[in-house]
Amino acid sequence: MKLSHEQIGRFEHDGFLFFPSLFRPEEVKVLTEEVPRLYAQDRPENVREKDSDAVRTNFAAHMYSLPFAKLAHHPRLVEPIVQLFGEDVYMHQFKINGKLAFDGDVWQWHQDYGTWKNDDLMPEARAMNVAIFLDEVNEFNGPLMLIPGSHRRGVLDARHDTSTTSYPLWTIDHDTIAKLVERGGIVAPKGAPGSMILFHSCLVHASTSNLSPWNRVSVYLSLCAVSNHIRRFKRPEYIAHRDFAPLRCLPDDCLLRDYEVNLPWKDGTPEQALKPQLAA
């Protein structure tokens, strides 16, 4: 999968690209069916909502789940990012965000790179986010809201918010958001399961709570240029990975066929992945 010249121009201007129904229903099904099994597990990678047992986000499924390990090596997401960076990439972060029916809480306005810079000492914003819808996303189940063009402002001042939700986040102040929205507006891509959003790690985004009876489970993968790997291992490894080996793509049909994939954490998370470490 190769981005066109027009797509690259649009990405540079808006900071994101939307690919409706990029994955076919039978491919999505392989992933969707795996989620309840992952969410039911009692492991540190499952972060639950503040006021309920609902899973807010599951980390690092590609280290212990076969379908998600295949997804992490899927050419439809790895190749466009390698193309944009002109360099190999590794998996910096891998999340399955629940935003479950009725219980899914907000994600405040933030840039992902703000956290990676502040917490992980990632040198540059040479990392890219990919969101893949496992459920239909509509106006009622808390769609991802993006401020087009906001990535061009680089890293914005942020405040570490540890109280609003169960997950600490570097968030951006209201005045800055108001100014960015005045210029770029807000868009919320909606579509069928299997749709994909590719967005810049400085693009400002948020999502509201999900009061609807429809789950809005999405996979969020963050792929980083290998030369731009993180320099500090303050956060657990299941949140900010420490293996900077380039991702090798599987064939395009990998979700539907048998392929050998390494699952190093399938019998549990190693002790050292749970703790801060001195960087190599």
Cβ of residue 211: shortest distance to its own copies, in angstroms? 5
Q: Is 139 in the site for its own copies (CB under 8 A)?
A: yes
Instruction: For residue 145, state whether it binds its own copies (rule: CB under 8 A).
Output: yes
Identify the residue among 22, 82, 101, 202 touching its own copies (CB under 8 A).
101
For 90, the enclosing helix (H) or strand (E) is strand 89-97
- CA 149 to CA 189: how far, in whole Å? 15
* Phi–psi pair at 136, nearest 5 degrees: -60, 140
Helix (H, G, I), strand (E, B) or coil at 70: helix
Q: Which is nearer to its own copies, 101 or 127 (CB)?
A: 101
Q: Rule CB under 8 A: is residue 211 a binding residue for its own copies?
A: yes
In the complex, what is the shortest distance from the CB of residue 201 to its own copies, in angstroms, rounded to a whole number? Answer: 20
Q: What's the gap between Cα 95 and its chain centre?
A: 6
* Torsion, CA 38, CA 40, CA 44, CA 45, rounded to 10: 30
Site mask for its own copies (CB under 8 A), range 4-43, x = bound: ----------------------------------------
Which positions from 176 through 205 interact with its own copies, judged by CB under 8 A?
177-178, 181-182, 186, 188
CB 51 to its own copies: min, Å: 8
The CA–CA distances, whole Å, from 216 to 31, 88, 142 equal 14, 31, 7
209 part of the interface to its own copies, by CB under 8 A: yes
**Residue recorded with tokens 């999968």:** 1
Of residues 41, 108, 118, 166, which one binds its own copies by CB under 8 A? 108
Parallel, antiparallel or unpaired: strands 205-207 and 218-225: unpaired
Pairing, β 16-19 against β 196-200:
antiparallel
Give the amino acid at 18.
F
146 binds its own copies (CB under 8 A): no
Q: Distance between CA 264 and CA 242 in Å, rounded?
A: 13
How far is residue 232's CA from residue 226's CA, in Å, rounded to a whole number? 15
The least distance separating its own copies from the CB of residue 192, rounded to whole angstroms, comes to 17
Residue from 67, 98, 142, 189 in contact with its own copies (CB under 8 A): 142
CB-wise, 66 or 106, nearer to its own copies? 106
Q: How many chain residues touch its own copies (CB under 8 A)?
A: 26
Binding to its own copies by residue 53, rule CB under 8 A?
no
Q: How far is the CB of 161 from its own copies (least distance, A)?
A: 11
Please, what is the end-to-end C-alpha distance for the chain in angstroms? 34
When the beta carbons of 41 and 108 are compared against its own copies, the nearer one is 108
Return the closest-CA partner of residue 62 out of 226, 198, 222: 222
Q: Does 166 bind its own copies (CB under 8 A)?
A: no
Q: Which residues here bind its own copies, judged by CB under 8 A?
A: 51, 101-102, 106, 108-109, 139-140, 142, 145, 164, 174, 177-178, 181-182, 186, 188, 206-213
